Amino acid sequence: MNLPKNILSDKVLKTFLILGVFVVLGTSIITQVLLQTGENIRGTPVDLSDQVIEVNLPTDDYFKSLLFYPNGLPPYISSGGVYSPEISIFNIGFKIAGILFLLIGIEIFLRTASSLNEENKNEKKYNKISLFCSIISGTSLFLITFFPFDKQLIMHMIFAILVFISIAIWVYAFMSSRKNIDSKIEFRGQNLNLIRIKIAYFGIFSFLFMVIFAGLNMQFIGAIGEWSLMISGQLQILTFIPNINNNN
């Protein structure tokens, strides 16, 4: 069965790309501002270690300390989906973003498939992986809104991990499948593939930064890594816009 070359027009795809990134960044920033400037309850200690006991995960003092926040919730993106009124913005925003990125992933897969060399099975394989990962990330982003960080921590963390891991794999598969297609495309005087590689390195650095400082129980610093990791993913998505301008 022959796949369609695309299901969205260039104009609609470009709008979805920009809108998807705008929704993720806007939702994250607005909910975090409301969290940090809200009522006094937001500065009271929060202990989520009891949720770990319920599922028989490690309960040593170190592990518990990672889930106890004496100064209130740290500025992780998920913390914006706990209190009212920002939880409403969080839920609506990320549901919309999940749907948009699901459509974007399918569209990029179709456009890439139509441009690939039929004899290059490796690129076709990576393109299929990118489709699978975009479906997982978009669906997980949508579903995570049903599991608040403070009430259903384990399920929330599972979907958060799925979002970040699937996006990381998508980035690699996306770059690998389009390496030859985009080899001559430039953006502001730089090769598009090189730009994507630089953003990928920024994402790897952000991930390590987050893991190291969160592991040291320096949650407020670790949150910076999470925000940087999220931004790197959004930048990768925007790198498809030059392809639209070049009709690829």
Task: Summarize the confidence of residues 190-210 as an average pLDDT.
Answer: 95
Task: Summarize the confidence of residues 195-219 as an average pLDDT.
Answer: 94
Whether 119 shows a pLDDT value over 80: the answer reads no
Please state, in angstroms and as integers, the Cα–Cα distance from residue 149 to each residue in 168, 178, 219, following that order: 22, 36, 15
Looking at residue 229, what is its pLDDT?
94
Query: What CA–CA distance (Å, rounded) separates 129 from 237?
Result: 16
Looking at residue 36, what is its pLDDT?
86
Model confidence at 111, pLDDT cuts 50, 70, 90, reads very high
Closest CA to 153 of 95, 218, 68, 92: 68
Please state, in angstroms and as integers, the Cα–Cα distance from residue 248 to each residue in 86, 136, 138, 242, following that order: 39, 24, 23, 9
This prediction's pTM: 0.90
Task: Summarize the confidence of residues 10-28 as an average pLDDT.
Answer: 96
The percentage of the chain sitting over the pLDDT mark of 70, rounded to a whole number, equals: 92
Looking at residue 55, what is its pLDDT?
53
Query: What CA–CA distance (Å, rounded) separates 140 from 237?
Result: 17
Model confidence at 62, pLDDT cuts 50, 70, 90, reads confident
Looking at residue 230, what is its pLDDT?
94
Looking at residue 41, what is its pLDDT?
60
Whether 247 shows a pLDDT value over 70: the answer reads no
Whether 46 shows a pLDDT value over 80: the answer reads yes
| Average pLDDT taken over every residue of the chain | 89
Among 54-63, 90-99, 109-118, 225-234, whose mean pLDDT is lowest? 54-63
Looking at residue 132, what is its pLDDT?
96
Helix, strand, or coil here: 83? coil
Angle at which helix 121-143 crosses helix 153-178, to 10 degrees, equals 150
Whether 5 shows a pLDDT value over 80: the answer reads yes
Looking at residue 60, what is its pLDDT?
64
Please say whether the beta carbons of 174 and 182 come within 8 A.
no
Token duo for residue 184: 């001559």
Whether 1 shows a pLDDT value over 60: the answer reads no
Task: Summarize the confidence of residues 42-62 as an average pLDDT.
Answer: 69
Query: What CA–CA distance (Å, rounded) separates 80 from 74?
Result: 10
Looking at residue 92, what is its pLDDT?
97
